[in-house]
Structure 1
Amino acid sequence: MNLLPQAHAQKLSRNPRLRIAVLLGFSLFAALAPQIAQCEPRARITSNAQGHLLEELVRAVGEVESAPRSAFEARRRGEVAANFANEALRSEGYYAPTIEINIGEEALSAPIVNIDIGQLYKIKDPTIDWGEVPPDPLTAQTAQTAINLDSQSAGRAQDILSAESRALGAVLQNGYADAVTEPRRVIVDHADNSVHPIFKISAGTKIRLGSVNLLSGTKTREDWLLSVVPWEAGANYGPSEITELERRLLETGVYDTISITLGATDIATSQRPVNVRLVDRAKISLEAQLSYATNEGFAIESEASRYNLLGRADSLIGRLTFGGIKKRVETELRLPHFLRPNQTLATSLAIFRDDTLAYREDGASFKGQITRRFWRNSFLTYGANLDLSRTHEPSFIRPTTGVDRDFVALSLVGAFIIDRTDNPLNARNGYKADIRLEPTIISGDANLSYLKLVSQASIYHDFTNDGRSVVAARARIGALLGGSIPDLPSGRRLYAGGGGSVRGYEYQGIGPRYNDPDRTPVGGLSLIETSIEFRQKLTDKIGMVGFIDAGTLGLTSSPDFGEFRSSLGLGIRYDLGFAPLRFDIAMPLNRPQGDSSFQFYIGVGQSF
């Protein structure tokens, strides 16, 4: 069986030196592989430990490359293994094990370490030693409660360290910014098999936050910075407030470095000023992305951004999209923390042309939207869009020549997005969902009003917990309420088919069609799409995907399952580090007459 692709095999046959080098490489690997794989344990464990504890002992003892060459080396390995095992047991709460080393008669095999783990030692009366200057009684009680060690829980080292961290965090959160831990004492009492931890914390003095000072090195206006500070002057220090300010500045995407420090105490106010040092990122950034689909051709999307032009962490973005179907020039201004924190104003002006199978639309669009952030990754968006458009589209009355329509569309926008995935470009676990409502009024050659409703949800599950085997599923529904065909301009209808929809079908290729020579898609008033993918990593960089897509489009606001279409496909993923490079090929299972038997797609990021 030939394991090399045909093109590589031809290249090797034409280059004898290359062929010899490859054969030598395979021979060398075959000779060394058994030696590389040949490892044995430093010592063999016999113990009354079970389950997880036994696994930890084996892991702590470790492996060596070869068997011992003498009795002295075997004894030495047994002593090292015993020390490692003892440390592992102490970390799990076993402080009085009995460990014996047996090197056997020949001493040329791994020593045997016999371990009796003994009694499990339990936590007893964890306390805090505050030194000479304790904090206020409320803070002391809060820190003691934060320890949260059950008096009957195992005396594990990691649990003790975590308890110390919780206690210190409680002190810091209560305004003691200079609080630090000092070396703790852990008393192991063999009489009653207990572990008595004594944490030593130097609290210092309670701090109140003073004025916020913006240090030089940025174009940012100080009045804007003060508007995003989450505390009032005189408030007690808390690390969560400092962290929140850092997060608010970081999410603007405008700064390379953010440093927030406390200054010296102001004697007059007994407050400590907060010094903020910001280093702006490069003023201008350029980005570009190339994609390809069989019947859509190549498309390039480029973006140029100018940062902090107005001194309020703003972004002025210019976008250019050029492809066989969509062409667009757009300018957008983004103002983060607009009027209130965690709220962004985005205004944009665009000139566009969409030249699809179903219609051609030229126009200009103005958008003004506010996005408010809730929790970590949940967003509410509301605003308005104004579009001035001219469409050329087929007509049931004039199917061969089509009609032109000029109109103005005013839409109100309301959308909610929730994202609980672990990676927006390559999710492995979690879910995300969104819903979008657009009530619209159209005036001109078309006069009507309608409500557009579109919602989508995706879910991801990693079966191996290491990202190697992931199942992803997606569902999308849409409906237009109040509109009708042919009154609704073609560019305002719903469509299905193509990349990002039902792969394998032509762009907009699912659903009813006009009876014209090109069999132009009509579009619809209702939409259902589903997808399921199995993503399997083959190496650290390369993976494969198998998927099934399906969807239907209806001429009314209710789904029409008579137009139900499905497809099968395979894909390759190459990990670029920030996102996967995607190669997909899909085949329609019930393709419309005259359409291609497959579609090929290239892009960055997973398909959903």
Structure 2
Amino acid sequence: MAAVRLLRLRSAVPLALAVLLTACATTSNQPTGPKVKSLDIEGAKQVDDGDIKDRILTSSTPWYAFWPFGKAHYFDTNAWQADLRRIERFYQAQGFYQAQVESNEVIPDGDKAVRLKVVVNEGAPTVIDRIETHGLEALGEGPDQPSQRERERILEDLPVKTGDVFREDTWAVTKDLVLQRLKDLGYAEAEVGGEVRVDVATQKAVVDLQIAPGLRYRFGNIFIATDANPQVPPRRIIEQAQGAVHKGAYFSEAALAEAQARVFRMGVFGAVKVNRGAPDRQNATVPVVVDVRESPFHSIRLGGGIGVDAARQEGRILGEWTNRNFRGGLRRLTLRGRLGYAFIPNVLASLRDDEGSQQAPVFTFTTEFEQPRFLFRDVALQASITAEKGLQQAYSFYGGYLKTGVIWTPHPSFSVFPSYNLQLYRLTGQVSLEESVPPIILGCGTTTSEGKCDQALSFLEVAFAWDRRDDRTEPRDGYYLGFSLQKGGGPFFGNYNYVRLLPDLRYYRSIGENKDLTLAVKLRAGTLNPAGGGQSSIVTRFFSGGATAMRGFNGQRLSPMTPLAPTYKEDDDGNVLVDANGNPILDSWDTVPVGGNSLFESAVELRYMLTDALMLAVFYDSGLVGTQELFGKNGPKLFGPEHYHAVGAGLRYLTVVGPIRLDLARRLNIGRGLPVSDPGYIYPSSGGCLGFGRKFDKTSTSADAAYAGAPEGLCAIHISIGEAF
């Protein structure tokens, strides 16, 4: 879902006009030097020439030097001379103290361009001969001193190691790491320095790490710095900070960071900073200062968005009103709405009134209430009620749901959310004037005289989340672990008695000094077990496919299918064509997804920053959705014939509302066709790509003989806002 925030519209419009007028009234400075066509560094063997180029000002013009992703780079004589000195200094920082720039050439390439060439002599690197440590003996022994294991951990696995090439950045990281470990043991005023003695003749270095730990401090009182007339009582802020900072405990900067996260999570501050105050050396205590600035307690957000998929398209407007201090006590009341219009499979098909096309208004309106500090500090009461009307490929619906529970957050990264849920829906399987999905396929036990069915789901859910990502919108490092358990029916009544499990694991790791390359991995699995082997509701079933799921399929198209009526080829007069045996010639036979009781998704993605705003991604996705529960005797097998695989690539353009993402995926022909409820269904002989090349020139009804994922096409394209995971 995409939401565009319109904030301070009245002030933004004049400011934008002023910027445009200023831009029109000025002229850009034209470069005076020639364009740099290439930059070659010869002799760089032990140091990567790309790292050298990253440290100098002069650079070659990139291949993408066109608006808005790049620009031409020009030669400047003064900058070039300074860069030659920077190259030698960079080598020294990498431990090559004898490195020299032996020669450089500026070679004309036509009248307006030059090619640059640098030859370096690296020399031998300086190797660490030994590491000496001084100052830790001051820690001593005693009840108020660190244990032997804690003292050993201070110097454990340091970046600098005997026998390694000495590098200045590694030396700086080592000092910072030792300092951080000392502060986390309570040494708030610790100092870490030292010197490195290099013997140029032998190319060996002696590292002297000098440590002055100082006093070991404990936490003292917590003080609040806030606005002149605060609406948030300071005691509430202190209470949250005390969840991490305990008076009398040893000082730790990690505790300060956790306290800051706890206070910010209250949701009513625009800025939060938690620092230590001036130490009391006489009592060996450190006060804590929490500096906060309140944000507006009432806010309105407006926006809009579109959802584009080969199977469904939707345009929508969004709105949200929030009161963060409803009737005092920091109670939060939120009214949230989404109003849109949906088209299946797309706008053009609906305008042409193609067979099987649908269109309808859709909406979701939610009222949500949250009571912080419900019984205990880290427990909040949350309740919401939602009314909605929707249009899916296999059915349309209207109804609503109620959700109420408590959120326990003992740590800023960990939460437990037990809740009771009641969902009431009226489903209609009418997908066109002539076609409808049988109620039994939707999981309906009984239907009305108009062919509609009512479903009531009553269940308890417990959701766990452990979120250690560095950024929830554009994660580069960290991991996320989620788990959801639902128990429906039984003592909770409702029409369905079932157990539903859904674990979710994601991992991110960035590589490189600027974290330009990111590895992202996702594993997600689910199983839905109806009691006694009964029918499950389509509302609780699993679907996959789409921009945030298995990208080798379009939205919700990785699923067991049910067929619609087939269409046959006709001549220009509208007569059905027949083959030599007198049978009508099949033109197309569409299906709609009805969901399954098992799910497995995996994804491995590499994301590389081309520029500050443009990212390239390549990925491998796999997934399955089966009719039986995942771990049952007849359940689908991982890497079996119903487990599908896809590879693809995409581009992301980074914006303030998240990355605008374009992904193109190609499914591998490994496996069988999707399960279709009609055993007489004829699979297409060729799926084609992006709507082209699909053929029904054979009469095979065997899923095993069909290509992988039939009847879906082998390619899928996705346009969305936000990362895939």
Superposition TM-score, scaled by structure 2 size: 0.59
| Compared CA separation, residues 221 and 590, structure 1 to 2 (3 A) | farther
The residue correspondences of 1:73-112 to structure 2 (distance < 5 A) are 85=88, 87=89, 91-92=93-94, 97=98
Q: Judge which range, 582-591 or 219-228, deviates more.
A: 582-591
1:211 aligns with 2:248: no
State the distance in 1 between where 2:619 and 2:153 align. Answer: 51
The residue correspondences of 1:193-342 to structure 2 (distance < 5 A) are 194-195=205-206, 197=208, 199=210, 201=212, 203=214, 205-217=215-227, 218-228=230-240, 229=242, 230-263=244-277, 271-285=285-299, 286=301, 288-293=303-308, 295-309=312-326, 315-324=332-341, 326-334=362-370
1:122 aligns with 2:129: yes
SS at match of 2:316: strand
| Compared CA separation, residues 427 and 511, structure 1 to 2 (3 A) | same
| Candidates 515, 522, 527, aligned match of 2:598 | 527
State the distance in 2 between where 1:202 and 1:420 align. Answer: 31
Match of 2:172 in 1: 161
State the distance in 2 between where 1:470 and 1:63 align. Answer: 30
Q: Judge which range, 49-58 or 526-535, deviates more.
A: 49-58
1:125-182, CA deviations, whole angstroms, 9 ceiling, x for partnerless residues? 332399xxx666546996797355666665544444344334433443343433445x
Instruction: Give the C-alpha shift of residue 605 in structure 1.
Output: 1.0
Match of 1:541 in 2: 614
Instruction: Give the C-alpha shift of residue 281 in structure 1.
Output: 1.9
Q: Is the 8 A contact 1:168 1:201 kept in 2?
A: no
Match of 1:554 in 2: 627
Matched residue type, 1:51: Q
State the distance in 1 between where 2:199 and 2:641 align. Answer: 77
Q: Is the 8 A contact 1:506 1:599 kept in 2?
A: no
| Candidates 402, 407, 410, aligned match of 1:370 | 407
| Compared CA separation, residues 543 and 39, structure 1 to 2 (3 A) | closer
Matched residue type, 1:386: L
1:582 aligns with 2:650: no
Q: Is the 8 A contact 1:94 1:121 kept in 2?
A: no
| Compared CA separation, residues 164 and 338, structure 1 to 2 (3 A) | farther
State the distance in 2 between where 1:418 and 1:596 align. Answer: 37
1:572-596, CA deviations, whole angstroms, 9 ceiling, x for partnerless residues? 6432255222356884779999999
Match of 1:5 in 2: none
Match of 1:395 in 2: 439
Match of 1:175 in 2: 186
Match of 2:500 in 1: 452
| Candidates 347, 352, 355, aligned match of 2:383 | 347
Matched residue type, 2:400: G
State the distance in 2 between where 1:61 and 1:248 align. Answer: 42
Q: Is the 8 A contact 1:122 1:152 kept in 2?
A: yes
The residue correspondences of 1:476-555 to structure 2 (distance < 5 A) are 476-482=525-531, 488-495=536-543, 500=548, 510-513=559-562, 523=594, 526-528=597-599, 530=601, 540-541=613-614, 551-554=624-627
Instruction: Give the C-alpha shift of residue 440 in structure 1.
Output: 0.8
Q: Is the 8 A contact 1:511 1:554 kept in 2?
A: yes
| Compared CA separation, residues 477 and 339, structure 1 to 2 (3 A) | same
| Compared CA separation, residues 266 and 590, structure 1 to 2 (3 A) | farther
Matched residue type, 1:395: P
Instruction: Give the C-alpha shift of residue 320 in structure 1.
Output: 1.0
State the distance in 2 between where 1:455 and 1:196 align. Answer: 48
Instruction: Give the C-alpha shift of residue 245 in structure 1.
Output: 0.8
State the distance in 2 between where 1:260 and 1:114 align. Answer: 49
Q: Is the 8 A contact 2:652 2:660 kept in 1?
A: yes
State the distance in 2 between where 1:264 and 1:424 align. Answer: 35
Give % identity: 17
Matched residue type, 1:214: I
| Compared CA separation, residues 274 and 555, structure 1 to 2 (3 A) | closer
State the distance in 1 between where 2:76 and 2:594 align. Answer: 77
Instruction: Give the C-alpha shift of residue 460 in structure 1.
Output: 6.9
Q: Is the 8 A contact 2:99 2:120 kept in 1?
A: no
State the distance in 1 between where 2:530 and 2:279 align. Answer: 63
Q: Judge which range, 154-163 or 546-555, deviates more.
A: 546-555
SS at match of 1:234: coil
State the distance in 1 between where 2:161 and 2:604 align. Answer: 45
Q: Is the 8 A contact 2:322 2:334 kept in 1?
A: yes
State the distance in 1 between where 2:543 and 2:136 align. Answer: 69
Instruction: Give the C-alpha shift of residue 242 in structure 1.
Output: 1.8
Q: Is the 8 A contact 2:407 2:415 kept in 1?
A: no
Q: How many pairs are equivalent?
A: 554
Write 1 or 2 for the structure with the bigger share of helix.
1
State the distance in 1 between where 2:645 and 2:200 align. Answer: 70
Matched residue type, 2:248: G
State the distance in 2 between where 1:383 and 1:64 align. Answer: 58
State the distance in 2 between where 1:110 and 1:178 align. Answer: 49
Q: Which ranges in structure 1 are unaligned for 5 or more consecutive residues?
A: 1-27
Matched residue type, 1:290: G
State the distance in 1 between where 2:188 and 2:601 align. Answer: 52
The residue correspondences of 1:430-449 to structure 2 (distance < 5 A) are 432=480, 434-441=482-489, 447-449=495-497
Instruction: Give the C-alpha shift of residue 417 in structure 1.
Output: 4.0
| Compared CA separation, residues 358 and 274, structure 1 to 2 (3 A) | same
Matched residue type, 2:222: V
State the distance in 2 between where 1:386 and 1:60 align. Answer: 60
Q: Is the 8 A contact 2:187 2:251 kept in 1?
A: yes
1:324-366, CA deviations, whole angstroms, 9 ceiling, x for partnerless residues? 4652221223456766666554322223334443252413413
Match of 2:433 in 1: none
1:51 aligns with 2:46: yes
Q: Is the 8 A contact 2:222 2:287 kept in 1?
A: yes
SS at match of 1:37: strand
| Compared CA separation, residues 420 and 93, structure 1 to 2 (3 A) | same
Instruction: Give the C-alpha shift of residue 57 in structure 1.
Output: 8.4
Instruction: Give the C-alpha shift of residue 604 in structure 1.
Output: 1.4
Instruction: Give the C-alpha shift of residue 249 in structure 1.
Output: 1.6
1:411-439, CA deviations, whole angstroms, 9 ceiling, x for partnerless residues? 11123345566654445677655432211
Q: Is the 8 A contact 2:469 2:476 kept in 1?
A: yes
State the distance in 1 between where 2:529 and 2:478 align. Answer: 30
Matched residue type, 2:265: E
Q: Is the 8 A contact 2:542 2:625 kept in 1?
A: no
Q: Is the 8 A contact 1:125 1:197 kept in 2?
A: yes
Instruction: Give the C-alpha shift of residue 463 in structure 1.
Output: 9.6
State the distance in 1 between where 2:169 and 2:621 align. Answer: 46
RMSD: 5.7
Q: Is the 8 A contact 1:377 1:418 kept in 2?
A: yes
